[in-house]
């Protein structure tokens, strides 16, 4: 694991005794392998690199270097009809629902059942923000907006919450408004920032659970004959369920392809400690605090996406420790600017009967409202792009709950999006990762999933669905 955007990890270091040191659990290579992260570590700069091989040329002469940057993100449904299949893809991921080995055959049937049951409620949420997630549009809409234009749109984005709060537009129009404004592509902004540093790169986007899938991005990378690749997950903090899951997909794809297995790759596992990111978040918070009549009385409320407690306590996920350190660094930067507001952290978006990281956002909002807090600034700390958990869950559900609980003045920090300082810092991270790029070798571990057999799949789906339904009926 890593603590910053400046350490390297290498599969070639399987037998080394060097371990990354960070605030939180320090896992050995064997432990991480057992938890299916399949990342071996050799600490040096926040980047995950892979064993060194020689990139073989298809020609007798030296091939011109072509740099690629692959941005990884969650993905989201673009229409209401996409909601149920998107949820299926999400819950079919073994890094999202971690079943015991003996129950792994239930993964897909259970995902199918959960997605069907949850789709109606999820559709209501997406309908409230315009009928689909803006996440892909924000991350990948087009590769033709110049960074100056991106900054101008960024200024417009700052006003979207004001428009919503004034009820100038209804929820559906508000969602469409955000979609139009958020055409400022992070991918294109990053490409332009790299060009400003005289680094010419193709920037690709791969979504984990919806189009364009990671597999599609990799196919385009192959067609473009990229000779060196930097992988940049758009998650500030590492988690098994986000960056870890995306990297497992990459490892599976790469080990099955002769060309990809020789491609030099660096993976930036997390970057929450980078000063550019910290300063960008502090800038946004400071700006939003200035909109309150009495900024010094505002509680800064960090809301992070939750993960099940078992991920942290059993699987060794560093997410909680990294999140707490991230907030500490942001508050230290604010204090250096003379801002010493009270702050708290809570976790949102829990699903199912298992225990998730606490405290829960909804419960904390009620509690602080009852304690007399009158002004609150919500800060979505896990998210760098606007999507349903910011636009619907925070802006609508949690705002309503906060006002009902006695909070009078509500504000929300927008996602970073195409913030110029933030994008420039990501570009710096990519440049720093370049020297570490090495080839990703095929994993020597056995696949957990058996080869696809249609008959076996149908049998598993049938009996698995019955058992999953019975389990859900059990108190």
- pLDDT digit string, tens, across residues 414-439: 999 999 999 999 999 999 999 999 98
Q: How large a percentage of the chain has pLDDT more than 70? A: 67
**Alpha carbon distance, N-terminus to C-terminus of the chain:** 38
- Express each pLDDT in 307-344 by its tens digit: 999 999 999 999 999 999 999 999 999 999 999 999 99
- Express each pLDDT in 388-400 by its tens digit: 899 999 999 999 9
Average pLDDT over residues 436-460: 55
- Model confidence at 47, pLDDT cuts 50, 70, 90, reads low
Q: Is 194 helix (H, G, I), strand (E, B) or coil?
A: helix
Least confident range from 116-130, 144-158, 308-322: namely 144-158
For the chain, the domains span 275-415
**Which DSSP helix (H) or strand (E) runs through 47?**
strand 46-49
In this prediction, residue 172 carries a pLDDT of: 36
Cα separation of 379 and 284, whole Å? 9
Name the fold adopted by 275-415: Rossmann fold (3.40.50)
Of 261, 225, 187, 180, the residue nearest 440 (C-alpha): 261
Confidence check: pLDDT of 268 > 50: yes
Confirm if 93 and 249 have CB atoms less than 8 A apart. Answer: no
In this prediction, residue 458 carries a pLDDT of: 55
Q: On the CB side of 179, how many CA atoms lie within 13 Å of its CA?
A: 17
β-sheet bridge partners, residue 299: 376
- Model confidence at 80, pLDDT cuts 50, 70, 90, reads confident
- Express each pLDDT in 216-267 by its tens digit: 999 999 999 999 999 999 999 999 999 999 999 999 999 999 999 999 999 9
Confirm if 265 and 229 have CB atoms less than 8 A apart. Answer: yes
β-sheet bridge partners, residue 378: 301, 412
**Which DSSP helix (H) or strand (E) runs through 153?**
helix 147-157
Pairing state of beta strands 264-268 and 438-439? antiparallel
Cα separation of 450 and 195, whole Å? 44
Average pLDDT over residues 167-173: 38
Cα separation of 239 and 451, whole Å? 28
- From start to end of 234-310, where are the E strands? 264-268, 299-305
Cα separation of 111 and 95, whole Å? 12
Cα separation of 418 and 422, whole Å? 7
């Amino acid at each position: 694991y890593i603590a910053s955007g400046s350490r390297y990890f290498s599969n070639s270091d399987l037998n080394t005794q060097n371990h990354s040191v960070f605030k939180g659990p320090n896992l050995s290579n064997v432990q991480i392998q057992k938890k299916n992260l399949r990342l071996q570590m050799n600490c040096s700069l926040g980047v995950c690199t892979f064993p060194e091989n020689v990139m073989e040329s298809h020609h007798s002469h030296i091939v011109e270097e072509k740099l690629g940057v692959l941005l990884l993100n969650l993905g989201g449904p673009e229409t209401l009809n996409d909601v149920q299949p998107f949820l299926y893809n999400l819950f079919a991921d073994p890094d999202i629902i971690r079943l015991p080995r003996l129950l792994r055959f239930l993964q897909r049937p259970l995902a199918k059942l959960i997605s069907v049951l949850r789709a109606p409620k999820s559709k209501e949420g997406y309908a409230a923000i315009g009928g689909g997630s803006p996440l892909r549009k924000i991350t990948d809409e087009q590769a033709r907006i110049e960074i100056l234009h991106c900054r101008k749109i960024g200024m417009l984005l700052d006003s979207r919450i004001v428009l919503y709060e004034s009820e100038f537009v209804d929820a559906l129009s508000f969602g469409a408004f955000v979609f139009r404004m958020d055409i400022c592509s992070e991918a294109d902004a990053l490409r332009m920032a790299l060009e400003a540093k005289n680094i010419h790169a193709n920037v690709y986007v791969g979504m984990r659970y919806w189009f364009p899938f990671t597999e599609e991005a990799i196919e385009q990378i192959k067609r473009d004959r990229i000779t060196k690749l930097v992988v940049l997950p758009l998650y500030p903090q590492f988690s098994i369920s986000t960056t870890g899951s995306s990297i497992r997909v990459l490892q599976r794809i790469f080990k099955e392809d002769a060309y990809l297995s020789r491609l030099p790759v660096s993976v930036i596992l997390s970057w929450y400690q980078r000063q550019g990111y910290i300063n960008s978040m502090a800038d946004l918070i400071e700006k939003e605090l200035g909109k309150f009549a009495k900024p010094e009385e505002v509680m800064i409320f960090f809301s992070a996406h939750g993960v099940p407690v078992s991920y942290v306590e059993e699987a060794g996920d560093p997410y909680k420790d990294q999140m707490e350190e991230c907030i500490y660094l942001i508050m230290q930067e604010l204090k250096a600017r003379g801002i010493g507001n009270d702050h708290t952290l809570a976790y949102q978006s829990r699903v199912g009967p298992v225990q998730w990281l606490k405290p829960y956002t909804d419960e904390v909002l009620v509690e602080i409202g009852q304690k007399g807090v009158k002004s609150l600034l919500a800060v979505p700390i896990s998210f760098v792009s606007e999507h349903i958990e910011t636009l619907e869950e925070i802006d609508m559900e949690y705002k309503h709950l906060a006002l009902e609980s006695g909070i009078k003045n509500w504000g929300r920090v927008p996602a970073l999006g195409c913030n110029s300082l933030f994008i420039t810092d990501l570009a710096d991270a990519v440049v720093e990762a370049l020297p570490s790029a090495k080839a990703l070798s095929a994993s020597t571990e056995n696949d957990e999933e058996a080869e696809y057999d249609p008959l076996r799949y149908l049998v598993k789906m049938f009996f698995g669905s019955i058992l999953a339904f019975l389990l859900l009926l059990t108190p």
